[in-house]
Chains A and B, each alone.
Chain A
Amino acid sequence: MKMRLKVDFHFSSAHALPFYEGVCKRMHGHNYRLQVTVEGKPNPNDGMIRDFEDIKQRVWASALTAADHHCLNDLMENPTAENVAAWFWEKLKPNIEGLQAIALWENPDYCVTVES
């Protein structure tokens, strides 16, 4: 039976949107939430799709270390939630087998999702 496994992450970053007409053009920041979804079948040996800790380590090593407590404009010119989510997807896809989706929240109300 296929299942989906999700791991949540929280990080704090600054950003400014240079092409936005409004307050987001100024340097400001957020407590972001990232949710990583992996799809697979539980292994009959250990009953797990994947080790949660393994996903945690891979996400930190391949993406979050560069984003957390950084200015996201150092990673790209226009770090909208959409562009940051696409950046996470590109970083995580080669490193996490079965990656099915990532969701990125700028605040508890605003979320962007990328799915395979």
Chain B
Amino acid sequence: MDMLLSVDFFFCAAHHLPFYDGPCKRLHGHNYQLRVTLTGRPSPKDGMIRDFDEIKRTVTEMVLVECDHHNLNDLMENPTAENMVVWMWERLEKHIQGLRELQLWETPEYCVTYRQ
């Protein structure tokens, strides 16, 4: 039976939106939450789809080291939540088999979801 498996991450970053007409144009920052979801079938041997720790290491190495406690404008010109989640997808899709969905929260209320 196919199941979904998710791992959550938290990081702190600064950003500003150069093309936004409002306060987000100024340098500010957020406590971001990233949720990485993949799909698969539990292995009959170990009963797992994937080792949670393996996902944690991959996401930390491929994405979080460049985002956490950084200014996201050093990664791209216009780091909206939408652009960030696409950037993350491109870095993760080759390394996480069965990657299904990324969700990125800028605040507990504002979230973008990217699926393929």
Contacts and interface: CB of A to CB of B under 8 A. Distances in A.
Given A31-B31, A68-B28, 7 more contacts: A10-B107, A28-B71, A29-B30, A30-B12, A69-B24, A71-B26, A107-B31
A68 B14 CA distance: 13
B27 A28 contact: no
Interface residues of B, number: 20
Nearest to B22: A69
A68 B106 CA distance: 15
A29 B12 contact: yes
Given A14-B27, A24-B69, A29 B107 contact: no
B101 interface: no
B44 interface: no
Given A14-B71, A26-B69, A28-B69, A70 B12 contact: no
Interface residues of A, number: 20
Interface of B: 10, 12-15, 23-24, 26-31, 68-71, 106-108
Contact of A13 (B29, B70, B106): B29
Contacts of B12: 28-30, 107
A62 B10 CA distance: 31
Nearest to B28: A69
Given A29-B13, A107-B12, A71 B70 contact: no
Given A15-B29, A68-B23, A70-B27, A29 B68 contact: no
Interface of A: 10, 12-15, 23-24, 26-31, 68-71, 106-108
Given A14-B71, A27-B71, A69 B26 contact: yes
B15 A29 contact: yes
Contacts of A23: 68-69
B31 to A, nearest CB: 5
